[in-house]
Amino acid sequence: MKTNSKFFILPIISVLLMFMLLRDGAVAVASEKSLLEEVKAVNEPFDSQSVKQVRPVTQKTVLAKEEYQGGTFRVLARKHAIERYKCSRCHLDKPVLVTQGLELTHGNVVINHGRKGDELGCIDCHHPDDRDYLEDKKGRKVDFDHSYQLCGQCHFRQKRDWLGGAHGKRVSNWAGDRVVYNCASCHNPHSPRFEKRFPATYSVPLN
C-alpha cells in the first residue's frame, strides 16, 4: 500500500497533542448560561414554510381531528392500507357464520393486546354493528383513519406525547406541514408490542 507509511507517524504526534488538549480542556468548563436556558428563551415562532426545497409527503394523509400547538396537523391515512376494508362487504345485514368466518378470514389475527389471559376481544374496539368503524367506550363511531381517538382512551399518556411530538414521529420532514405517523402505522393494533428480533446489523470495535 503506497500511502500507508504516513499513518505510523501520526499516532505518536496524537499522543503529544493529547497532553496539550487535556490541559486546555480543563479551562473550557461551562460558565455562561446553559444552552438549554438559551434555547428555552427563544419564543418567537419559526415559519417552517421558510425552509426551501421541502418536498411534501407523498403518502396518503388526513387532517387530524386534534390540535398541535394550537394549529392543525395531518396523520397518515389507514383505511387504504387495511387489506379487506370495507368490512361491510362481508359484514352485511345477512348473518355471517361466525366460527367459520373467523377461521377463514381472520385466522391470521392473533390478539396479544390487554392483560395476559384477559385479552381484548374484537368488539372492544370494533363497532359491533357497523364494521366499517371502530367504537370508543362512549359508544361513538371512530373512523379507522383516526384510530388515535380510540387508542388514546387507555393510552392517554402516549397520546399526549404523540400530540406533542415525544411519541411516534413525523413523516419524512422536520420542516413544512406537520405530518405524523398514525398509531397503527407502527403498531399492530392486535399485538401492539414490537416482536423481539435480531438487530439489523452489528458493530465492530471503534477505530
Partner 1 sequence: MSSQKQDEAKTTIEDVLEKPSSRRKFLKGASIAAAAGSAAVAASYMSAADPASAGELKLRWQEYFKKNYRIMSQEEKDETVTRLERLAKMQDNVDVQIGNEPPVEKVLFGYAFNITRCEGFMECVTACVKENNLDRKTNTQYIRIFEMEPGQLDPSTGDGQYYHKVPVDDKFYMGAQCFHCEKAPCIKACPTKATWKEPDGIVVVDYNWCIGCRYCQAACPYYGRRFNWGKGEVPKEEITTKQHYLGNRKRPMGKMEKCTFCIQRTRKGKLPACVEACPTGSRVFGNLLDPDSEIRYVLKHKKVFRMKEEIGTQPKFWYFID
Q: Which residues sit at the interface with partner 1, rule CB under 8 A?
A: 2-3, 5-7, 9-14, 17-18, 21, 24-25, 27-31, 34-36, 39-40, 42-46, 48, 50-55, 68-69, 71, 157, 161, 164-170, 172-176, 181, 186, 194, 196-207
| Distance from C-alpha of 131 to C-alpha of 110, rounded to nearest angstrom | 19
State how far the alpha carbon of 71 is from the alpha carbons of 74, 188, 193, in Å.
10, 28, 31
77 CB contacts (<8 Å, ≥6 apart)?
Answer: 59, 60, 61, 62, 145, 182
Q: Closer to partner 1 at the Cβ: 135 or 147?
A: 147
Give the three-state DSSP class for 63: strand
122 CB contacts (<8 Å, ≥6 apart)?
Answer: none
Closest approach, Cβ 36 to partner 1, in A, equals: 7
Closest approach, Cβ 164 to partner 1, in A, equals: 4
| Distance from C-alpha of 162 to C-alpha of 169, rounded to nearest angstrom | 8
Q: Closer to partner 1 at the Cβ: 13 or 97?
A: 13
Closest approach, Cβ 199 to partner 1, in A, equals: 4
Q: Closer to partner 1 at the Cβ: 98 or 206?
A: 206
Q: Closer to partner 1 at the Cβ: 107 or 199?
A: 199
For the chain, give the longest Cα–Cα distance: 84
Closest approach, Cβ 116 to partner 1, in A, equals: 15
Closest approach, Cβ 30 to partner 1, in A, equals: 3
